[in-house]
Amino acid sequence: MHGRKITGGKYKTFRKRKKFEIRGKERKVKLRDTKKKEKRGLGGEIRTVLLSENFANVFNPQTKKCKKVKILNVIETISDRFLARQNILVKSAIIETELGKAKITNRPSQEGDIKAVLIKEK
């Protein structure tokens, strides 16, 4: 806690942060050729982290089938419009694929692939 007590005394930190309490680097998944990295997690767990990708596993709700297709462009990102301009892939971003428009349903920066669901055109 920063600042001071009501009496004017200073708050003192009693210890430093432990390794699991320190935040990791922010990873932004770009629309480029596939690039992955393996990262060690807590308890020796190995995670596959995505750095860039140009393919997505797109689920079609009408046929109930999943297909790996190429991502052409990032159309819209609800969380931040500047991410769409830089072609950064995040959860709930709307992407243009070979099958049509799709919405990303997972968090690509923390998983080793991109999962998306086709959106019905109005």
Amino acid at 119: I
List the CATH number of the domain containing 90.
3.10.290.70
Q: Measure the CA–CA gap between 47 and 107, rounded to whole angstroms.
A: 13
In a domain, 32, yes or no: yes
Mapped to the 3 state alphabet, what secondary structure does 3-40 carry? CECCCCCECCCCCCCCHHHCCCCCCCEEECCCEEEEEE
Q: What is the DSSP letter of 101?
A: E
Q: Is-above-0.75 flag for pTM?
A: yes
19 part of a folded domain: no
The residues, ordered by sequence, that sit 6+ positions from 37 with a Cβ below 8 Å of its Cβ are 48, 49, 51
In a domain, 40, yes or no: yes
pLDDT along the chain (122 residues), means of 10: 83 88 88 93 89 96 94 94 94 95 94 93 66
